[in-house]
Structure 1
Amino acid sequence: MSKSVRRVSVPDVIANMIMKTPLILLFGVLFWACPGSGSAEPIFAKIATTLPADHPTVEALRFFKKDIAEASNGQMAIRIFSDTELGSPSQLLNGLQFGNIEMGVLSSEMLAASFPTLQTILMPYVFRDPVHKYRVLDGPIGKALLQQLEQANLIGIGFLATDSRNFLLKSKAVTQPEDFAGREIGVPRACPLAECHDVTLNLMRDTLSALGATPRIIEMDAILPFFQQKTSDGIELSLTRMPQLPLKEMGTTQVLVDAHTAIPDIFIVSQRWFEKLQPEQQQQLRRSANKMIQFQRDIVDERNQQIALGFENGGTTLHFVEQEMFFQAVQPVYKKKAQEFGLPFEDILRSIYEVH
């Protein structure tokens, strides 16, 4: 990607793309009682996620529940529904749009199917490091990406940390893009549901092809059989998923930690519900939510450090690489996306690149 600057307003770019992109999300009108309209009655709200109860994000939601209860003197009571208790991702989305569910956690990949500009933060090697990532997501670019969700009756409060994707290799470390040439790499399909969008799966296929590797799409339960094939050379997987595999049985001691993608989740509030809150209640919710987001990022980072230490103690070598050379190697993927979505998409990517 060229480093030359063409002055653009990221919020305006996103707004223009919204006008040109038909939303496939459902809209409707839901009439219900106004919470706290002049009364001292407690406000009850649900937070929904498909993540399991022991996930760091759910731990952070419990932190949020406690914090907002204390800050509101018990006037806001929250119940957390995890592990798809309130339905699939699409059902949570519909509930949030209609106000049946007050708050929730959704993947930016899912929302990117209707808001193509969100695909900019799904691109391979788009973030140089965690510092760069959060300067983008917490800055004007991230705020503009979240603001567009209001077109779908959703309020994006902020981005949550998720697992980075890396490579588990049989042998021979990868230290530069050329080392991928001729290798067969398995890419597990993380979501087998028909409603899931394969945005990142297609991006990963294109990324590996740009690096000279041969991508093989496999099911999640086929990781071990695939790895045991003589022709396979590795698996693309999240760092937290790797320790769950029988690494000794698989005969691998190499992990390429390149963090080519780290698709953020988004903490979302139903706009229909949020607008019925009093201004001070809205402000308190945002304050507690922002504290929760930082807490969530901290515990995810701590967990990842523990996983890395476990790898080293277990004899697995972690290879950390300079992302810039990989970023340059996958420019054909960026050109393909720019052709698909046009110059505004490329402008946003350039703005991301220029954040320091």
Structure 2
Amino acid sequence: MTRCHPFGLIILAVTLFSMTLAGLAGCGQEPNRKPVVKIGEVLPPDHPTSDAMAYFRQRLETHTGQGVEVRRYPSGQLGNAGELIQACRTGDIEIAVVSAAPLAQYVTDMNVVALPFIFRDSQHQARVLDGEVGQTLRRSSEQAGVVALAFMDAGTRNIMTKRGPIVRPEDLKGLKIRVMDSNVLRQTIARLGATALPMSQSEVYSALQSGVIDGWENNPPTCLKFSMHETGCVYFAWTQHVAIPDVMIVSKTWYEGLSPQRREALDRAAQETSSHQRTLWAEYEVQAVEQLKQLGMRFNEVDAQAFRDRLDGAYDEYIEKYGEGFASLIEQIQNTGSPQVDP
């Protein structure tokens, strides 16, 4: 029988003790090894859509049993809308919240929700996007490397100018109006008689101050949260020419790599958030209008029929460009009616 030297026993004991410490350290670090889900957002933290994403974070962590760590990056910390979309496509971030308008550069079918006067009201839009059209847009988005997981209300877009009031399309002649990077929006504003200038949201404030643009188009909550009234852009015309939703998109590669249970939890949290966001939006929009009035914003109604007449025929142009599948989407949207009410 071979006897172990006392020095060898000491070395063995130290080694076993070190291994034990390492094991304990590993156990202590395990919570920090939860998968990290990064969410890129363009809007500021106190915007109603950002509030909804705080809700989404809580719901996702709950549905996964605290099995993921969600990190949010609002105010364009990870880039503008185009950069966030690209980051989702490449898998550099897992989730982003962007407008459907810039997403349409990658997902042709998404142009349909940016068409002028395509939705009758917010209820109609919700029924459309929660139905078969929404599912079609989700399938189309997957071909671009992202999954359109949920749609959110972003109200109607209206024209705000430093010179006004704007009542008829003729009043826009010669004005430079900022738009999102969207072919449909550019052409819509051009049809109304103004010059459309695509620009990132982060550049709009200074562009208004310096006179690079004469106005922009958006909704009351975003106008308030970005303090646009401070630039002298105080004429708000209720043109309501488009109602483009925001979209929660996720990286397709990441999504497909999730376990069935986590994918289900993600889908569930997204749908809960969509419903919650629409409620937040409706409440906040009313408050935003009142606050903007107190801050000197001047709201006016417009000759709605004159704006509709100026945009007449726009759909034909896009049907010719995008084909019969696009025409079918338009028809489905127009044929989506009110929910049946039992007598």
> Where on the TM-score scale, by shorter chain, does this alignment land: which range?
0.7 to 0.9
Bigger drift between 309-318 and 44-53 goes to 309-318
Rounded Cα–Cα distance in structure 2 between residues aligned with 1:216 and 1:160: 25
Alpha carbons 2:107, 2:144 under 8 Å: kept: no
Aligned to 1:180: 169
Structure 1 portions without partners, runs of 5+: 1-38, 192-196
Aligned to 2:56: 64
Helix, strand or coil at the partner of 1:331: coil
Count of aligned pairs:
299
- Find out whether 1:103 has 2:87 as its counterpart: no
Question: Which has the higher Rg, Structure 1 or Structure 2?
Answer: 2
Selected match of 2:288 from 285, 307, 319: 307
Rounded Cα–Cα distance in structure 1 between residues aligned with 2:256 and 2:113: 28
Selected match of 2:40 from 39, 48, 54: 48
Alpha carbons 1:189, 1:201 under 8 Å: kept: no
Aligned to 1:274: 255
TM-score, normalization by structure 1: 0.71
Rounded Cα–Cα distance in structure 2 between residues aligned with 1:187 and 1:200: 16
Rounded Cα–Cα distance in structure 2 between residues aligned with 1:273 and 1:200: 30
Alpha carbons 2:117, 2:243 under 8 Å: kept: no
Distance 1:64 1:336, change over 3 A: same
Cα deviation digits, residues 289-322 of structure 1 (max 9, x gap)? 1111222222222221112223455676644569
Selected match of 2:318 from 304, 327, 337: 337
> Quick check: which one's helix share is greater?
2
Instruction: Map residues 136-155 of structure 1 onto 2, 5 A cutoff.
Output: 136-155=128-147
Aligned partner letter, 2:144: A
Aligned to 2:191: 207
Helix, strand or coil at the partner of 2:268: helix
TM-score, normalization by structure 2: 0.73
Structure 2 portions without partners, runs of 5+: 1-29, 338-343
Alpha carbons 1:227, 1:235 under 8 Å: kept: no
Helix, strand or coil at the partner of 2:175: strand
Cα deviation digits, residues 169-216 of structure 1 (max 9, x gap)? 655673xxxx3336426343356xxxxx3424422333304xxxx446
Instruction: Map residues 1-356 of structure 1 onto 2, 5 A cutoff.
Output: 42-168=34-160, 170=163, 174=167, 179-181=168-170, 183-184=172-173, 186-190=175-179, 197-209=181-193, 214-215=194-195, 217=197, 220=204, 221-223=206-208, 236-240=217-221, 242-243=223-224, 244-246=227-229, 255-313=236-294, 318-320=299-301, 326-356=307-337
Aligned partner letter, 2:208: I
Rounded Cα–Cα distance in structure 2 between residues aligned with 1:73 and 1:145: 30
Rounded Cα–Cα distance in structure 2 between residues aligned with 1:349 and 1:75: 41
Rounded Cα–Cα distance in structure 2 between residues aligned with 1:76 and 1:346: 41
C-alpha RMSD of the superposition:
3.4
Rounded Cα–Cα distance in structure 2 between residues aligned with 1:248 and 1:69: 40
Q: Identity over the aligned pairs, expressed in percent?
A: 24
Cα deviation digits, residues 5-55 of structure 1 (max 9, x gap)? xxxxxxxxxxxxxxxxxxxxxxxxxxxxxxxxxx99743322222333333
Aligned to 1:18: none
Alpha carbons 1:166, 1:257 under 8 Å: kept: yes
Distance 1:268 1:311, change over 3 A: closer
Alpha carbons 1:128, 1:323 under 8 Å: kept: no
